[in-house]
C-alpha cells in the first residue's frame, strides 16, 4: 500500500507500508491491504505506520484520511514535533 501524509506546508511522509493505524473521530482504526474505500475525519493523535518490522509514530493535529485502491492519503492540519 502507498501512504502519503500531507500538511498545509509540507509533504510529511510518503512510502510503501504494510499497515497504518489512525486516530479516527469514533476511535482508532487500522488500515490493511485491500481495505474498503473510506473517508474519515481524524482527531489529534498518533498515526502508527508499519512497514514489515519497522514502526514509525507520527503525531498529527486532526485532519482527514481517504483510502481507495490501496492508496492512503492523510491530510493533516499539522504535525507535532
Per-residue pLDDT of the chain (81 residues; tens, 9 = 90+): 999 999 999 999 999 999 999 999 999 999 999 999 999 999 999 999 999 889 999 999 999 999 999 999 999 999 986
Domain boundaries of the chain, sorted by first residue: 2-76
Domain 2-76: CATH class, spelled out: mainly beta
pTM value is: 0.94
65/22 Cα distance (integer angstroms): 8
Amino acid at each position: 500500500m502507498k501512504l502519503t501524509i500531507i500538511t498545509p506546508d509540507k509533504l510529511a511522509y510518503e512510502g510503501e507500508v504494510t499497515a497504518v493505524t489512525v486516530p479516527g473521530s469514533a476511535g482508532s482504526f487500522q488500515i490493511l491491504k485491500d481495505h474498503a474505500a473510506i473517508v474519515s475525519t481524524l482527531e489529534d493523535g498518533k498515526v502508527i505506520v508499519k512497514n514489515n518490522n519497522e514502526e514509525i509514530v507520527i503525531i498529527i493535529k486532526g485532519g482527514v484520511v481517504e483510502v481507495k485502491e490501496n492508496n492512503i492519503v492523510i491530510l493533516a492540519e499539522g504535525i507535532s514535533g
